[in-house]
Amino acid sequence: MSAIPQERRVVTAIPGPKSQELQTRRIAAVAAGVGSTMPVFAARAGGGIVEDVDGNRLIDFGSGIAVTTVGSSAEAVVRRASAQLADFTHTCFMVTPYEGYVAVAEQLAELTPGDHAKKSALFNSGAEAVENAVKIARAHTKRQAVIVFDHGYHGRTNLTMALTSKNMPYKDGFGPFAPEVYRVPVAYGYRWPTGPENCGPEAAAQAIDQISKQVGADNVAAIIIEPLLGEGGFIEPAKGFLPALRQFATDHGIVFVADEIQSGFCRTGQWFACEDEGVVPDLITTAKGIAGGLPLSAVTGRAEIMDAAHSGGLGGTYGGNPVACAAALGAIETMKEQDLNGKAKRIEAVMKSRLTAMQEKFDIIGDVRGRGAMIAVELVKAGTKDPNPEATAALAKACHGEGLLVLTCGTYGNVLRFLPPLVIGEELLNEGLGIIEEALAHV
């Protein structure tokens, strides 16, 4: 655990004077298109705390968007990455390879679902992994169409903007987008017209009908889905939806890709969220939690599919950087040794019991959902299911002012999401929930 005291501390207004000074410099020097949740500048971070330049200690319910699952300065990550830094920073795996890359690929083969032969390719960002999954699926199937889902998020590069559902802020004004991308309904239980019980099979039937009639199953290279949708609002596809699409993909020779960039690596209380319904993807994309904060991503999957791309067709200068690989081995070691899947389940139990109690009290909470340490509340106008983005923004702002770092998400901007590091202490977790409850009482 980190040396930073695991206590919330608010000693200035938030943002404090030093953060405000840095914000002035930032506005002058950094492009406006890069946003930030809070105008608070970090000085150090670890465990469940982010300490800012003014000495405030924020409770971290964001993990840098589901990245620092093991904390922001996990001992094994710092130790292994530091040792690698001293040995060499880069040779380029495509020039002279090194063991760390191979060791990460071996770990991915062991940890991802399914006992078939697997191979991996490593990249830098989540979007890059998704792009490469599409390249590999197209090379393997000799087909072009890609199926994605309402509320899906897959990144900000040109192809992944096309795959992403939400216009603002991800796509607006940035087209034209890549062709041969088709979007179909997802099983969003809370908003399904005939109710959550019917949602899984009905949504699957609709999605499959649209694919069959509008695209043609034989034209489809890949179906790409987040087994627990992240940016779109922490939507758990209703039961039966994922297995039905997995089966449809099998029946038609389509590569089934699970985008586990946000939901993977213990986040939901399992190594990967698709395990929840026993779904075995052909390819799986990972990033975020994989390397304790260093930039690393991967595509892992069936060896015969992964090998479909010709030599030199995959890669990149920095892909699988040795320091990032060392950090990944440290993060995975931490997840295993500290049973972070167990920790995620415990976080779910604490959060869900308190949040469902709040739902009884506050009628703007329409839904409490998620798994493990990927939990959210969907906020609505009292007595309706109309999205309430105003209350969501006000709640987030109130929490920030009290020293609790929370994030929002959702197609309608009305979801407050919680992604604490899995190493957060239970006292901090409860204190954070208390701040949320207090904020709810005041909006």
Least distance in Å: CB of 287 to ligand PLP? 5
Residue in the shown chain whose Cβ atom is closest to ligand PLP: 126
Q: Decide whether 57 or 151 has the Cβ nearer to ligand PLP.
A: 151
Does residue number 429 form part of the binding site for ligand PLP (CB under 6 A)? no
Task: Determine which residue in the list 287, 377, 428, 429 makes contact with ligand PLP, applying CB under 6 A.
Answer: 287
Least distance in Å: CB of 152 to ligand PLP? 8
Least distance in Å: CB of 261 to ligand PLP? 4
Least distance in Å: CB of 181 to ligand PLP? 15
Least distance in Å: CB of 62 to ligand PLP? 13
Does residue number 262 form part of the binding site for ligand PLP (CB under 6 A)? yes
Least distance in Å: CB of 221 to ligand PLP? 18
Q: Decide whether 141 or 262 has the Cβ nearer to ligand PLP.
A: 262
Does residue number 150 form part of the binding site for ligand PLP (CB under 6 A)? no
Does residue number 334 form part of the binding site for ligand PLP (CB under 6 A)? no
Does residue number 47 form part of the binding site for ligand PLP (CB under 6 A)? no
Q: Decide whether 294 or 396 has the Cβ nearer to ligand PLP.
A: 294
Does residue number 126 form part of the binding site for ligand PLP (CB under 6 A)? yes
Does residue number 153 form part of the binding site for ligand PLP (CB under 6 A)? yes
**Distance from C-alpha of 209 to C-alpha of 267, rounded to nearest angstrom:** 32
Segment contacting ligand PLP (CB under 6 A): 9-17, 148-156, 243-251, 380-388?
A: 148-156
Segment contacting ligand PLP (CB under 6 A): 29-37, 147-155, 404-412, 428-436?
A: 147-155
Least distance in Å: CB of 85 to ligand PLP? 22
Q: Decide whether 221 or 296 has the Cβ nearer to ligand PLP.
A: 296
How many residues sit close enough to ligand PLP to count as binding (CB under 6 A)? 14
Least distance in Å: CB of 23 to ligand PLP? 23
Segment contacting ligand PLP (CB under 6 A): 15-23, 55-63, 213-221, 259-267?
A: 259-267
Does residue number 432 form part of the binding site for ligand PLP (CB under 6 A)? no
Task: Determine which residue in the list 127, 305, 329, 398 makes contact with ligand PLP, applying CB under 6 A.
Answer: 127
Segment contacting ligand PLP (CB under 6 A): 48-56, 94-102, 119-127, 173-181?
A: 119-127
Task: Determine which residue in the list 109, 130, 145, 280 makes contact with ligand PLP, applying CB under 6 A.
Answer: 130
In 10 A of CB 119, how many CB atoms? Answer: 16
Q: Decide whether 141 or 160 has the Cβ nearer to ligand PLP.
A: 160
Least distance in Å: CB of 320 to ligand PLP? 15
Provide long-range contacts, Cβ within 8 A and 24+ apart, for 40-46: 40/14, 40/15, 40/16, 40/400, 41/15, 44/4, 44/73, 45/2, 45/4, 45/71, 45/72, 45/73, 46/1, 46/2, 46/3, 46/4, 46/71, 46/72, 46/73, 46/74
* 3-class SS letters over the chain: CCCCCCCCECCCCCCCHHHHHHHHHHHHHCCCCCCCCCCCCEEEEECCEEEECCCCEEEECCHHHHCCCCCCCCHHHHHHHHHHHHHCCCCCCCCCCCHHHHHHHHHHHHHCCCCCCEEEEEECCHHHHHHHHHHHHHHHHCCCEEEEECCCCCCCCHHHHHHCCCCCCCCCCCCCCCCCEEEECCCCHHHCCCCHHHHHHHHHHHHHHHHHHHHCHHHEEEEEECCCECCCCCECCCCCHHHHHHHHHHHCCCEEEEECCCCCCCCCCCCCHHHHHCCCCCEEEECHHHHCCCCCEEEEEEHHHHCCCCCCCCCCCCCCCHHHHHHHHHHHHHHHHCCHHHHHHHHHHHHHHHHHHHHHHCCCEEEEEEECCEEEEEEECCCCCCECHHHHHHHHHHHHHCCEECEEECCCCCEEEECCCCCCCHHHHHHHHHHHHHHHHHC
Please report, for residues 111, 112, 307, the alpha-carbon distance to residue 117 in angstroms, rounded to integers and kept in the order given. Answer: 12, 11, 11
Residue written as tokens 């998400």? Answer: 409
Does residue number 259 form part of the binding site for ligand PLP (CB under 6 A)? yes
199-258 residues near ligand PLP, rule: CB under 6 A: 226, 230-231
Q: Decide whether 8 or 154 has the Cβ nearer to ligand PLP.
A: 154
Q: Decide whether 254 or 374 has the Cβ nearer to ligand PLP.
A: 374
Question: In the complex, which residues of this chain contact ligand PLP (CB under 6 A)?
Answer: 125-127, 130, 153-155, 226, 230-231, 259, 261-262, 287
